[in-house]
Amino acid sequence: MNAEPSPAVARPKVIPPVLVQPGVEQLDSPVAIPHDTVFPIPRFAKAVRDGQKRQMPQCIAHRGYKARFPENTLLAFDEAIKAGAHAIETDLHLTKDDVVVLCHDQTLKRCFGKKERVLDCTWDQIKDLRTLAKPHVPMPRFKDLLAHLTQPGMEEVWLLLDIKLDNEPETVMRLIGATIAEVKPSGKPWAERLVLGIWAAKYLSLAEKYLPGFPVMHIGYKLSYARHFFDVPNVGFNMLCPMLLAPGGKSFMRDRHEESGSRQLLAWTVNDADRMEWCIRRKMDGVITDDPSLFVAARERHDECRKEPVLPVSFRSLFEIARIYIMVTAMFWLIRRRFRPDVDMPLIQRVPRNKTS
Domains of the chain: 29-40+47-355 (3.20.20.190)
What is the predicted pLDDT for the residue at 43?
A: 96
DSSP string, 172-221: HHHHHHHHHHHS--SSS-GGGTEEEEESSTTHHHHHHHHSTT--EEEEES
What is the predicted pLDDT for the residue at 314?
A: 94
Q: CA separation (Å) from 15 to 19, 21, 269?
A: 7, 11, 15
- Those residues whose C-beta lies under 8 Å from the C-beta of residue 24, and which sit 6 or more positions away, are 165, 331, 335
Q: What is the DSSP letter of 317?
A: H
Q: What is the DSSP letter of 40?
A: P
The tens place of each residue's pLDDT in the chain, 357 residues long, gives 444 444 444 445 555 666 667 777 788 888 999 999 999 999 999 999 999 999 999 999 999 999 999 999 999 999 999 999 999 999 999 999 999 999 999 999 999 999 999 999 999 999 999 999 999 999 999 999 999 999 999 999 999 999 999 999 999 999 999 999 999 999 899 999 999 999 999 999 999 999 999 999 999 999 999 999 999 999 999 999 999 999 999 999 999 887 656 799 999 999 999 999 999 999 999 999 999 999 999 999 999 999 999 999 999 999 999 999 999 998 888 877 766 555 567 899 999 987 655
What is the predicted pLDDT for the residue at 24?
A: 78
DSSP string, 271-315: -SHHHHHHHHHTT-SEEEES-HHHHHHHHHH--TTSPPPSS-S-H
Task: Give the pTM.
Answer: 0.93
- Those residues whose C-beta lies under 8 Å from the C-beta of residue 178, and which sit 6 or more positions away, are none
Strands (E) across 95-172 are located at 100-102, 158-163
What is the predicted pLDDT for the residue at 262?
A: 74
